[in-house]
Amino acid sequence: MELELSVDRSSPVPLYFQLSQQLEAAIEHGALTPGSLLGNEIELAARLGLSRPTVRQAIQSLVDKGLLVRRRGVGTQVVHSQVKRPLELSSLYDDLESAGQRPATKVLVNTVVPASAEVAAALGVAEDSDVHRIERLRLAHGEPMAYLCNFLPPALIDLDTAQLEATGLYRLMRSAGITLHSARQTIGARAATAVEAERLAEEEGAPLLTMQRVTFDDTGRAVEYGTHTYRPSRYSFEFQLLVRS
């Protein structure tokens, strides 16, 4: 079986990227079956009219994604396991949407408040300086699923309530030209207080899943701090990890 691969040299898309996408598609589509060898790099490069470094760059990106495994003296083969998606800096909104849940958002609060000590420390701004505060209720199938409380530094983005109800916060930030880079997260659990129970239609004392997150852009600025609580019967965190070798 010969895999059909080709590159378009007139395209502005980098050659290694064209190749890696085709390989990834072939794996996803099943044309490259798990465990199968990929053929050696030299020959592959010759077949495509590319140099070996370019082919290696394409392969390496898929190795980094966990789709391929290289073995010296053996070859490169497709990992045969149910690799879903590696852990991304994901938003709840996108998670739900990709699960076909058609999420709804109700904005409870959208205002500017002085930063508390906790918020100031997380965002790296002065205490009592102005920060945006938004509180949202995320619903799926009409049922409350999560309560989201977020703080953003001022002058970063203007938060329109209508937009917040139509899409997710991360998507808004990205379309505002902010390139998200990393986030620090803590996931825990606790018993619901009376107020929390009321918000999420749970009983007081019921277990809640909690997540706190500080998100940074590519310059290292903190761009968002959030405290979220989820109903564990409706949501859990699910992700794939890769070892860093």
52 belongs to the binding site for its own copies (CB under 8 A): no
Paired with 188 in beta bridges are 210
Q: Are 165 and 139 in contact (CB under 8 A)?
A: no
Please state the closest distance from residue 133 (CB atom) to its own copies, in A.
22
Nearer to its own copies, 47 or 70 (CB): 70
Listed residue (69, 1, 65) closest to 30, CA to CA: 1
Cα R_g (the chain), whole angstroms: 23
Identity of the amino acid at 28:
E
Q: Of these partners, its own copies, DNA, none, which one is at the site of residue 34 (CB under 5 to 8 Å by kind)?
A: its own copies
Among residue numbers 83 through 122, which ones bind its own copies (CB under 8 A)?
A: 83-84, 86-89
Nearer to its own copies, 165 or 238 (CB): 238
- The 184-213 site mask, x for binding its own copies (CB under 8 A), equals xxxxxxxx-------------xxxxx----
Q: Of these partners, DNA, its own copies, none, which one is at the site of residue 57 (CB under 5 to 8 Å by kind)?
A: DNA
Q: Which residues bind DNA (CB under 7 A)?
A: 12, 14-17, 38-43, 49-54, 56-57, 70-76
Segment (H or E) for 174: helix 169-175
14 belongs to the binding site for its own copies (CB under 8 A): no
Paired with 75 in beta bridges are 71
Q: Of these partners, DNA, its own copies, none, which one is at the site of residue 26 (CB under 5 to 8 Å by kind)?
A: none
Nearer to DNA, 33 or 236 (CB): 33
Q: Are 170 and 209 in contact (CB under 8 A)?
A: no
Segment (H or E) for 29: helix 15-29
180 belongs to the binding site for its own copies (CB under 8 A): yes
Joined together, the tokens standing for residue 15 give 């050659």
Q: Of these partners, DNA, its own copies, none, which one is at the site of residue 113 (CB under 5 to 8 Å by kind)?
A: none
Q: Are 108 and 142 in contact (CB under 8 A)?
A: no
Paired with 225 in beta bridges are 151, 214
Nearer to its own copies, 49 or 207 (CB): 207
Joined together, the tokens standing for residue 163 give 């937009």
CB atoms closer than 10 angstroms to residue 210: 14
Binding site for its own copies (CB under 8 A): 34-35, 53, 64-66, 69, 79-84, 86-89, 180-191, 205-209, 216, 218-222, 232, 236-244
